[in-house]
Amino acid sequence: MRPPQQWLRVVKPSADPRARIVCFPHAGGAASFYQTWGPFVPDGVELRAVRYPGREDRLLDPLARTMEELVAPAVAECLPLLDRPLALFGHSMGASVAFEVARRLQEAHGARIAALFVSGRSGPGRESVPEQSYATAPDHELVRHLKELGGSETAALDHPDLLELVLPAIRADYRIVEEYRADPAGTVLDVPVVAYYGDADEDVDAGSAAAWAPVTRASFTARAFAGGHFYLADHQDALLRDLLSRLGVPAAG
């Protein structure tokens, strides 16, 4: 694994930020997934995205094999950012990574983030268990599943050369998701938690989103948007307006 200072990409810089947001991609996703968020984030808010190994400009880096290999470098990267209010946002697998990072920051470092935003992921204990392992499924079955979910990476699935590049990272991430279970005896957060989900997502509904409530002693809110698992691709403006409002920051424009 590379040194942790290379795990974050600055999507929207700010010389003197009043707040920072760090975004965690979904399984198979990359930092570029959040590139289109920049115009919706106002000046004065710094936006960063996690660069998982084995994709994009980290294509040659060894893939992570466990949740810990994603969490530990992200924690080290976030620690220097806590001089300003820091919020974490994670979609799908990224929600679990962001949650574990928030837990570790509080438990091991006594650091409290401004808020945790989880998206497209059922709360601990309510995670959906696939009938088969997508980490080991034949290529055609994994590709079919990915196309059903949607998302920005689906264009690569019809190109054999690109498919050869992206499938290893996707399989590695799915293995992490399939093996991961949140520790029910782990640290309870002291920060607001907001769960977002698509109302047509087959794996997340109001009940499973509400399962995030016990992870915090502070406030919990769940909000649904129209759409499936990748609802956020169609609701960037509304999602970010909601997120920023909870941080007390007006959206851009």
Among 26, 91, 92, 208, the one annotated catalytic: 92
- Please give the Cα distance from 146 to 32 (Å, whole number): 18
**122 tagged catalytic:** no
Beta strands in 60-173 (DSSP E): 86-91, 115-119
Sign, CA dihedral 38-44-45-47, equals: positive
229 has catalytic annotation: yes
Nearest C-alpha neighbor of 183 from the set 215, 213, 211:
215
Assess contact for 252 and 226: CB atoms under 8 A. no
Which residues, at least 6 apart from 148, have a Cβ–Cβ distance to it below 8 Å?
A: none
**Alpha carbon 141 to its chain's center:** 24
Q: Tokens 């949740």 appear where? A: 67
What is the DSSP pairing of strand 193-198 with strand 115-119? parallel
Which of the residues are catalytic? 92, 229
